[in-house]
A and B are shown apart, each in its own frame.
Chain A
Amino acid sequence: MGNEINPLVEFAVHQLHWVLLFMGTVYAFKIRWILKHPAGKDRQAPTGEANQTSKSGAWYSLFSIAMPWTLNSYREKPMMYVQFVIFHICVAMSITMTIVFSYRPVWLSAPATIAVIQVIYAAGFIVGLYRLARRVFSPVMRMISSPDDYFSMALLVVWVGFSFLVIGQAPAFAVAIGQLDASQVASTQLNEIPLIAYYFLTAFFLIYVPFSKISHYIFYPFTRWHFGQTMGHRGIYPLKRIDKMKAR
């Protein structure tokens, strides 16, 4: 038998799919807008080695983010790459957790799973704070930042913080919605304040994201694909002889 759930939490959980639908609709418009712009055609004869084609260049470009040795900035500063990975894994996990926590909290109820996720959230939270501080204190970053840049970053940091707090309640929530027996968990007590805050924050986050810089991941595949197509067609991607380039 489950616990009583605060009606506010219940309301938030049951409205989540509408919020997701809203986000999806805005994204659909965004993608339509991108596709309305015609892509330029490259008339030059293909150049480069056999493995350097428009297609191979596009795929290489798309996945170059997973190959930090192909991006000189990350090659020179590997810690920047480490924090980039941690932060993005953390954000992706938070989004996934929103859905899993709401509909299948039982999957998150094992203490080991919770511990691992909390470690990632903690690391992501620290990285987020560092990134926010860098944006505030570095003169260049400050000059190029808009209110949206600060707000988006702060929002993510706070949201990840709440995710850290809430994940621990997955077993109790699973009991509350009847997916787990109370005897299988150490505590069935739901701490409702962070849970309510988390859900409303999540709802706000999902509504805000399509209008903010956080939506860059919608542009990412298009931008990298087209850039890679050109670079592949002209014999630049995949990069040759990276081994001989050396960082400075």
Chain B
Amino acid sequence: MGKTRSYKAQKVVDLMKAKTKSRQIMLSLESCVKCGQCIDQCHYVLANPDDPTFAPPYKADKLRKFFKAHEDWTGKVIPWWVGARSIYTDEELEELKDVVFGKCTGCRRCSLVCPMGVDMATFNGMARNLLYSVGIMPEGVWAVAKDQWEIGNQMGVLKEDYLDTLEWMEEELQSKHNDPSIKIPIDKKGADIMYTINPREAKYDPRSIADAAEIFHFAGADWCMPSEGWDMTNFGLFVGDPSLGAAASSRLYTAAQELGVNKVVISECGHGYRSTKCEGPNWAKMDLDFPMESSVITMLDYIKQGKIKVDKSKNSEKVTYHDSCNFARSCGMTEEPREVLSLVCSDIQEMYPNRQWNYCCTGGGGAMSMSEYAPMRLKSAKIKAEQLRATGAKIVVTSCHNCVDGLTDLIKHYNLDMKVTQLVNLVANALVVPASKMPKVMKEVSMPLAGKKILVIDDEPDVRIFLTKIFKENGCEVFEAPDANQGMRIIRDKNPDLVSLDMILPHKTGEKLYWELRKDEKYKKLPVVIVSGYTKIDDPKIDFDAFLEDKGIPAPQGFVEKPIHPDVLIETISGVLLEKV
């Protein structure tokens, strides 16, 4: 009598049989000769040399054993001889989850060195899909995938917030150039270009939208942004799910078709570019009649054609370029970003290895949404940190939003004296505005928070980066903590003027930390502003009001709801701090 198999394991077996009908996947699973050439090409291995479980063939073998047990002749007849083994329990599925989500970013560096041509990233994606289909995945991945299914973008940005952000950026640009004719056109039928973005830009980095709009404006482009189908990212790639991939990409394609645009321009995002341009048409089974290009190509064309003028002396700090895995290894975009960089920066230092052989930023494959693997990710980022440090650059440029977050996180972790930016920011900064369009009046900037010390406690690196940026722009000194314990240490060491506190944190929740602060004689008056997206509507367990009542402690000095609007945030923080003064 055979071994019994759990319901989920049986489901995974059935699905695997259907998935491996693709010749490419079957060949990749069947062809590995375990020669070991890929082992030291993986950043996880290089950073964890004593742990063989990080080796690509070991990770691949977790799935290969399973495939062999069900699909290969020898695996069925003499499984012990060829190392075939099926999956039986939910614990084994959990173990597989830690391998395919936690120990591989799908960067494809190992695929490119494999003498046999085994594409490990592709079947790692397939393995993720098998687990995703039975609900086994990191919590963050589930949340993001759910948002993309339900709301239409992976960060759950509501349509009104997105449109508000565009309007706000339009006003900023008009104010900057004192020119009300600068527009961010929305849903313009028959426009030449439809510009699509990563929702991270709408939520945390709206300056990138403004920078792109500035470039389009001064290039005299006939462009627009769609009110629907504007998210070019696709979590279908990270969970290996063609259905989600199709749903997300077809939204964008449909928007382009309905607007009747000539071309879709995709803002700088590695996986977004790959998903929209390469994988999307396959997932959606659509043969598209409009071209799609990266904004890197668009900017390069504008500069080369003289549509915009740039002055490279405006970007004089030493920069280096980080090739995103999806851009370089999956889409061949290695030279165009360098061309743009050479036109807008005066001091460039190449990083080694580079192009298709560059190391992953360690934030790829959706890793930034898997907080449970963050310590392992940061430890493995040592290789990237060393690579960055060796350049001596002050700025690392990348054409990928995931890389921006991954690199920012590791730069902080390894105390590198660097910041991360994108080409769009550098091009916009280098723009030479025609004299006729020069701003007549410079906007006066006031900094009510100058000199204030603010501690940001949030487990999402994206949010920390965003908040830090806003606070720093307002003259604050900012400290960051990814959890409550580290936050408490910083409170004791640095004595901040205010704490920006998230509710949902790993290990110890925000409300527990808040309670501890209020109990502590020394910190009971320390201003705290709750910055959170979760309410009791999202999760009935989170009823902060009831918690305060139950503990008999006063409410925090302020609340700011996510998605965060910078003006609201600064207004709230200023109100709290000025009131304290």
Contact = CB atoms under 8 A, between A and B. Distances in A.
Given A72-B41, A216-B116, A248-B352, A43 B287 contact: yes
A245 B81 CA distance: 41
A245 B356 contact: yes
A7 interface: no
A84 B278 CA distance: 35
Contact of B282 (A41, A47, A134): A41
Given A37-B22, A40-B23, A43-B287, A236 B116 contact: no
Interface in A70-125: 71-74, 80, 84
A231 B444 CA distance: 52
A32 interface: no
Contact of A220 (B28, B31, B281, B335): B31
A139 B23 CA distance: 32
B114 to A, nearest CB: 8
Contacts of A44: 277-282
A71 B83 CA distance: 28
Contacts of A200: none
Given A140-B36, A224-B117, A240 B26 contact: no
B117 A223 contact: yes
A47 to B, nearest CB: 6
A143 interface: yes
Given A71-B115, A240-B334, A38 B21 contact: yes
A211 B34 CA distance: 16
Nearest to A239: B356
Contacts of A149: 34, 83
A40 B332 contact: no
B27 A148 contact: no
B81 A146 contact: yes
A22 interface: no
B497 interface: no
A80 B57 CA distance: 18
B33 A47 contact: no
Given A40-B23, A144-B34, A244-B355, A45 B83 contact: no
A166 B115 CA distance: 32
A40 B22 contact: yes
B112 interface: yes
Interface string A203-223: 000000001110010011011
A211 B30 CA distance: 12
Contact of A52 (B80, B277, B332): B332
A47 B22 contact: no
B381 to A, nearest CB: 16
Interface in A140-199: 140-141, 143-149
Contacts of B166: none
Interface string B345-357: 0000010111111
A220 B118 CA distance: 9
B315 to A, nearest CB: 22
A65 B37 CA distance: 12
A148 B81 contact: yes
A241 B335 CA distance: 9
A47 B291 contact: no
Interface residues on A, range: 35 or more
A72 B42 CA distance: 12
B286 interface: yes
A147 B353 contact: no
Contacts of A138: 36
Contact of A38 (B23, B27, B117, B286): B23
A86 B350 CA distance: 36
Contacts of B281: 43-44
Contact of B52 (A41, A71, A73, A139): A139
A235 interface: yes
Nearest to A68: B115
Interface centre among A34, A144, A213 (most CB of B within 10 A): A144
Contact of A226 (B27, B37, B278, B329): B27
B418 interface: no
Contacts of B357: 72, 245, 247
A149 B334 CA distance: 38
A52 B286 CA distance: 23
Contact of A224 (B35, B37, B116): B116
A141 B36 contact: yes
A202 interface: no
Contacts of B37: 71, 73-74, 80
A74 to B, nearest CB: 7
A128 interface: no
B332 A234 contact: yes
Nearest to B72: A33
B51 to A, nearest CB: 9
A240 B40 CA distance: 23
Interface string B484-516: 000000000000000000000000000000000
A143 to B, nearest CB: 5
Contacts of A139: 52
B356 A223 contact: no
A236 B332 contact: yes
Contacts of B330: 234, 236
Interface of A: 34-35, 37-45, 47-48, 52, 61, 64-65, 71-74, 80, 84, 134, 138-141, 143-149, 211-213, 216, 219-220, 222-224, 226-228, 230-231, 234-236, 239-241, 244-248
Given A72-B109, A216-B33, A226-B27, 7 more contacts: A34-B26, A40-B24, A141-B36, A143-B58, A145-B83, A219-B30, A234-B332
Q: 8 closest pairs, A vs B, by CB?
A: A146-B83, A235-B332, A224-B117, A43-B281, A227-B117, A37-B23, A140-B52, A236-B332
Interface of B: 20-24, 26-28, 30-31, 33-41, 52-53, 55, 57-58, 61, 73-74, 80-83, 109, 111-113, 115-119, 277-282, 285-288, 291-292, 329-335, 350, 352-357
10 contacts: A40-B24, A47-B277, A64-B115, A140-B39, A140-B58, A141-B36, A149-B83, A211-B73, A223-B27, A244-B350
